[in-house]
Chain A
Amino acid sequence: MASSLTLLPPAFVVLAVAIIMPFVSRRVGHGLGILATGAVAVWSLLAPAGVHLPVSFLGFEAVLFNVDDFSRLMGIIFGIIGVAAVLYSYSSDARNIQTAYALGYVGTSLGTVFAGDWLTMVFFWELMAVTSTLLVWDYGGDAVRAGYRYAIAHGLGGSLLMGAIVWHYTEVESFLFSATNGIAPGIPAALAAVGIGVNVGYVGLHTWLPDTYPRPHFAASVFLSVFTTKTGVYGLARAFPEGNLAIAYMGTAMALLGVIYALLQNDMRRLLSYHIQSQVGYMVAGVGIGTALATAGAFAHVYNHILYKALLFMTAGVVLSRTNEENLKYLGNLRGALPITALAFTIAAFSISGFPGFNGFVSKGMITAAAHKEHLYGIFYILLAAGVGTFMSFIKFGYYAFFRDANRDWSLERAHTGQAVAMLGVAALCVVFGLYPDALFSILPGSTAKAHPFTLSHLGEGFALAALGVVGFVALKKPLSKVGDVPDIDAVLNPALFYGTRVLVRGTTDLFAAVDRAVSSGSYAVATAIADPYPTARRVAGALGDADAKDITTGSLRATIATSIVLVVVILGGYLVGLLG
């Protein structure tokens, strides 16, 4: 049993489905996708811990399937959400090719988290960037440009990580995780921190996130919201198992700035995207704090966040597909028209905001408690403040989309059965893990010994934050509704990138053209001289003042009989001198 589970990496199964996907019917393809991702979840749960499938990859020792607490958790949640997302895609009329790209993205993400060494990890890491870019591009239109920016960002991040790993190898002489505890300190660590930082969306490196995720097909957004950032958190935990205070502060900044920007958004998916940055900030902070409780909290938050964020993107997708409206300002009163979606949204919103009884409350509380225990009060209070902001922005989302009275009379087709099943299933999980966190604790890395989610003070904290959120929203509703487009750092970055790339491309092209001209004319001259050396020889001889230069005609450079004999004598003489000398 154990060996049959470890015979091949789960990633390959999903990738195989991705490859056959375009050649089968929609029903069969998506069915296979659900089976494969579901199998991955079960498989991850059952696979025994340890290193499986050590191979030689590009001539180095590598491990394709490494099971420990970290990778098991990632495998389970990636599998679960894969099932929901594929089902959702199927009932959202996603084309096979789109789901094929999405499954490719899932498969490479699985490859990344199940890698047992840095080389395999970065290999799949880069492939993940490629497959997700394809998933974005597949939609066409605006998504293509955003996809380019996405690809550039991840190309840079991946290259930095690769640099870190190569440097790590020269110091450690092994790619295996087991060889060291985390990545080699010094420059490799710095490169890795920044390279992974692109994936998790450090403040300043995050612009690709709200830029890309709102643009593709709404079912593609569900996939996108799950894998890249969370794989980044996983990578960060691998690289910095002991934590790092600077990373913890970066995570805190992400949590706060992300939520502030989210509050200012009116585009549903853009709002949710900023919330990814904010929520991932909690996880990064947890990894950065680095205690057993913090690590457990970070991964619990990875797990829970995947559930409710995917759910939020699903509900936003249903709203978007039914109303053709992405802007909250023009929505409203949808709870009657889309009751199941409204219900799922409400559960997801409570979860992400950290309302007691829902899963976000548990994991967020673990991280803040860890910060408190380490006496990192700055982090603690900022994370609490970000929690208030989260409440506010989801009250805003819910109010504008579902609950306020709008003058529009929606007569909409309801969510498809598949969409409803996916949403309600994930919503149920949010509630289950919120009420019964021990189910999650049993599979977490780190230690949950000090996690006590349902103490009175914690519960009070949760309710207080919620109350503050309500008050804050009511107070700020008017000014918020007047805020137009708020410039993010990409207002500077994107033009800089665009013109910078343009200068680079034009510069390179012109330089290349100049070099090309020089080389081709030069080599043409050389080729001519070689093919018919006599005119050149005449010119050279003439320039050297040889009066007989004009006598050099075709064939006259060939050795005469006399020259030949001289050559024989010279070689013989040289050889004999060498032998006898």
Chain B
Amino acid sequence: MTDALVLLIVLPIAAAILPVFLGILSDRAGWYVALAMSLAHLGLSAIVANAVDTSGRISYAVGGFQPPFGIELVADGISAPLLVLISISTLGVVVYARRAGPHSNAFYSELALLTAGISGVVATADVFNLYVFLEITGLATYALVASGRSPRAAVASLKYLFVGTIGASLYLLGTGYLYIATGTLNMASLSEAIVATPAGYASPTVLTGFGLMATGLLVKVAIFPLHTWQPGAYAESPDTVSAYISALVSTAAAYGLFRVTYTVFTRDFLEAVPIAADAFVLLGSVSIVAGSVLAVMQSDLKRMLAYSSVSQFGLVVTALGIGNKTALIGAVVHLIGHAVMKGGLFLALGVFAASVGARTMDEFKGLAAREPVTSAAFAVLAFSMVGIPPAIGFIGKWNIVVGAVEAGSWSVALVVVVSTLLTLAYFGRVIERMYFTHPDETDVADASVSADGGQPASDVSFGMRTVVVVAAVTAVLLGIAGSDLIDIIRPALEVYFV
């Protein structure tokens, strides 16, 4: 049963190699491999989720070496939903990519590698192993961003490469400090070993280790002002890639931050060193506002969504800083919800770009009449992102705000309200243009010519639209089933509150 956990990582790595060989036979082989991989991945994550549901936390010792010396993989009520999320996102993106592309076997190899990396980040219970998976995730993402093949994509990828590598290196450095201080790399034993060091939480080595690891992960999460790589990476990559990385890459890093902060360092550390959490709240709050303001300023829709992610992850990091049960539940729910919503929104942009060539705010005029179904799905996802009940965006945001109020952080509650208004502002602008503005005649005529940066507009498959609609429906259904989701998450969080 627990073998499924390791297969979740091994399977995509194996699948990453296949397209290279099968590419000799067929140009389309990669897609079939990816589809098979994502279906199998979904099956495996369902098995894991089921096991967690029946028996709680499950653990797997890689290679038969028992922790704390061997590498341990763990699934609990928090990571299991994320694993299912990864599987579903992968499947959705693969279905979408059949028509939308990029049509190369290399792309599917990179996609499978990325899946492996993200699954690994979520499943691992070992801080060094987490670094390895972060790097796998990073390398695959750099390559995927560059698959946009435009000069700007190459620059964005390079920027991401530099900044991301520095972030990962800082994390590795922090891991080294912890290893020096404690002699272990397993998360669970680290939490005990850190307290047992001679100086305990006051040890400079431990503190420096936390600072390095947290900063490194914050770079990966893309918190303002460490977000600079992110808008370019999201905006310049192909739509399929944008959707996938926006849904999962920062999410995995934020999950890593959660694990490091709460499993490795624990709430006792946060209480002993209040600045550790205060910095999260401060950076997160700044990120919420700055991301929203920057999003309002954008005229390119993909950039707008990218900055929106800066704001939303600010929310998650703030919740990690607040650190009470309600806020943490909100953070996990919002991680899941954001992935569904943001992924769906990017896929919708891909549909718009492919069918009518609309990429900027002005080109969105009157779009609802030409793409009614996708526009409706876009609107649903946008309203969910704003936090309008009953969609999932509301559940996460609501729990975070309630948590902030419980903790007496009224300023955070205020920031969230302000950012909600700004979110409404930037999505409102788009929806107003889609639904209530008539397109200029010239725009319509130009659209097909200028679409997709000069490339001819490709047509849109039924599958592409279906994936977008499914994302929108999922956002609403998850919201309606929000309390069930919280019931799954809560027991895993209780562990940190004993």
Contacts and interface: CB of A to CB of B under 8 A. Distances in A.
Contacts of A533: 297
Contacts of A532: 299
Nearest to A569: B166
Interface in A527-581: 530-533, 558-561, 563-565, 567-568, 571-572, 575-576, 578-580
B167 A568 contact: yes
Nearest to B276: A579
A561 B162 contact: yes
Contacts of A561: 158-159, 162-163
Secondary structure call for the B interface = helix
B212 interface: yes
Given A533-B297, A579-B276, A580-B204, A564 B229 contact: yes
A564 B228 contact: yes
B210 interface: yes
A572 B170 contact: yes
Given A561-B159, A565-B162, A567-B225, A578 B279 contact: yes
B226 A567 contact: yes
Given A530-B297, A564-B159, A578-B279, A572 B211 contact: yes
B208 A576 contact: yes
B123 to A, nearest CB: 27
Contacts of B493: none
B364 to A, nearest CB: 14
Contacts, number: 65
B212 A572 contact: yes
B297 to A, nearest CB: 5
Interface in B287-317: 296-297, 299
Interface stretch (B112-120, B188-196, B213-221): B213-221
B275 interface: yes
Chain B interface residue number, banded = 20 to 34
A334 B208 CA distance: 107
B318 to A, nearest CB: 16
Nearest to B296: A530
A512 B210 CA distance: 56
B207 interface: yes
Secondary structure call for the A interface = helix
**Considering residues B211, B214, B276, which has the most beta carbons from chain A within 10 angstroms of its beta carbon?**
B211
Interface string A256-272: 00000000000000000
A571 B297 contact: no
Contact of B166 (A565, A576, A579, A580): A565
A564 to B, nearest CB: 4
Given A575-B211, A575-B214, A579-B276, A564 B162 contact: yes
Interface string B436-457: 0000000000000000000000
Nearest to B225: A567
Interface in B216-255: 218-219, 225-226, 228-229, 231-232
Contacts of B481: none
B279 A568 contact: no
Given A561-B163, A576-B208, A579-B210, A568 B215 contact: yes
B477 interface: no
Contacts of B163: 561, 564-565, 568
A545 B468 CA distance: 51
A133 to B, nearest CB: 37
A188 to B, nearest CB: 33
Nearest to B167: A568
A579 B207 contact: yes
B273 interface: yes
Contacts of B276: 579
B211 to A, nearest CB: 4
Interface string B152-172: 000000110011001100100
Nearest to B219: A568
A294 to B, nearest CB: 55
Nearest to B232: A558
**Considering residues A568, A576, A580, which has the most beta carbons from chain B within 10 angstroms of its beta carbon?**
A568
Interface of A: 530-533, 558-561, 563-565, 567-568, 571-572, 575-576, 578-580
Given A565-B166, A575-B214, A579-B211, 16 more contacts: A533-B297, A561-B158, A561-B159, A561-B162, A561-B163, A564-B163, A564-B226, A564-B228, A571-B225, A571-B283, A572-B211, A576-B208, A578-B279, A579-B210, A579-B276, A580-B211
Q: Nearest 5 A-B pairs (CB), nearest first?
A: A559-B228, A564-B228, A576-B211, A572-B215, A579-B207
10 contacts: A530-B297, A558-B232, A561-B158, A564-B228, A565-B162, A571-B225, A572-B215, A575-B214, A579-B208, A580-B211
Interface of B: 158-159, 162-163, 166-167, 170, 204, 207-208, 210-212, 214-215, 218-219, 225-226, 228-229, 231-232, 273, 275-276, 279, 283, 296-297, 299
